[in-house]
Structures are given as C-alpha cells and as structure tokens.
Amino acid sequence: MKICVVTPYFETEESWLRQCHASVRSQSVEAHHILVCDGAARAALPEFRGSHIVLQRNYQDYGNTPRLIGCAHAMAMEADAIAFLDADNWYYPGHLDGLIRFATENLLDAVSSARMLHRLDGTTMKKCPTVDGRNYIDTNCLLVMKPAFRHMIAWTLLPQDVAAVMDQFVWKHMINAGARLGFLDQPSVAYRTRHVVHYQQAGEAPPAGAVDRVDPHGAHYH
C-alpha cells in the first residue's frame, strides 16, 4: 500500500519541520512525505526524502490550498491513502499503521485519531479532550483512503473567513457524501499548541505569545 503524507508549511522553524519529517520516516509502515512550501523560502532539509513542492505565492488560507495541491500530487503518484501533518507537529510511532489497520478492518473511507497536546518546547501536556471524532477532528489526525480522494476538493470550497476550521468542514462534507468514517481513540499525534484554552484545560499558565481563540479546536497553521 502506498501512503502519502501531505505537509504544508510557511516560515516554520526548521527544527520543528525536521522533527515532523523524521516522524514520518520513522513510521512502521513506509510513507512518502510531500512538503508543500506555501510561498515562503524553501526550508533547507539535507536529510529530506520525498517530494518538495514550492509554491510561488502564499495562499493565506491556513494551508488548505497547499493541502489540496499535495493531494493532487499524491493521486498522481497513485497513492492508496493520504494522511496529513502540519509542520510544527509530529506522529508517534505506529500512527499510520494504526490508522490503516483500523480503516481496513472496518471498511472505512477515512479515519481520524485522537491527539496528545504538547507544549511549545515539545514536552507532553495531556490528551486533548476536544478532538473526539464527533465534535471535532484534527487535520493532523486524518487519513483518507482512495475511495474518498474525490472529496479532497472540499479543502478549498469555503471562503477565507472559515479557512482556519476547514478540517471540520472536510470531515462533515465526507459524512454528508455518505463516506464511511471512523475515529480511533488513541492519541498517536503530537500537537504542539500555542492556544490558551489548552493550557487552561491542563491547569497551566499559558506561555508568552499564546493565542486566545474562541474556537476550542485551536486550529492554526505555520
């Protein structure tokens, strides 16, 4: 099975991007990593193995257009499954294998996992209580099987003012289209958070520069 992982990035710290890529390379199942540079300077990643697409402009839609472009590249490579991972986050070992097995055993078109919240320095906080497969899913936790690839156009169907929560729309779009979806309640994605609500949930003071959003999902993009 050919698995592709799509990662858009824009001015991300290169140490974070290296950690992101290393987590894809260290998965127990092989995956082709597709980086999509969203109109910034191309990151210097000497150890990178995969496809590196550099866009000539920044689309300013939280990586949604770059994700769709990455999906198109994966389809051209005849991928069987497409997963997503933002550049400041990383997979735990076994993440992709767990999702593929869950999707295959349950005949699913797409599957999402739980996630673990991490501080900006990478240390672990707690399992995220809001990403539960019913109220919220997270782009980083999503894997889509080939029968549902046609739904990936949904990344760019809504206007700019809701671009930050497009993953919720993509999930609901697939549900409304009759796709078979599932949630694996195992936190196998590390989500590096800068959102006040997550620190409050953990009973911690938020760090300097933390973002105070109404949206409890804490959608962001770098």
pLDDT of residue 123: 96
Two structure tokens written together for 20: 């992101």
Does any domain span residue 151?
Answer: yes
CATH number of 68's domain: 3.90.550.10
pLDDT of residue 216: 37
Can you give the residue range of the structural domain that contains 81?
3-201
AA identity, residue 106: N
Does any domain span residue 217?
Answer: no
pLDDT of residue 213: 61
**In the chain, which residues have pLDDT < 50?**
214-222
Number of domains in the chain: 1
Does any domain span residue 222?
Answer: no
Does any domain span residue 209?
Answer: no
Does any domain span residue 206?
Answer: no
Strand pairing report for 142-145 and 81-84: antiparallel
- Digit-coded pLDDT (tens) for 83-124: 999 999 999 999 999 999 999 999 999 999 999 999 999 999
Angle at 17 between CA 189 and CA 196, to 5 degrees: 55
**Considering Cα of 191, then 55, then 57, then 161, what sign does the dihedral take?**
negative
| Residue 207, strand partner residues | none
Does any domain span residue 77?
Answer: yes
Does any domain span residue 26?
Answer: yes
Q: How many CB atoms lie within 10 A of CB 163?
A: 20
Rounded to an integer, what is the distance from CA 88 to the centroid of its chain? 10
Distance between CA 39 and CA 97 in Å, rounded?
32
User: What values do phi and psi take at 37, rounded to 5?
Assistant: -80, 120
- Digit-coded pLDDT (tens) for 64-90: 999 999 999 999 999 999 999 999 999
pLDDT of residue 212: 79
Does any domain span residue 71?
Answer: yes
pLDDT of residue 160: 86
| Residue 143, strand partner residues | 83, 111
Q: How many CB atoms lie within 10 A of CB 165?
A: 15
The whole-model pTM stands at 0.93
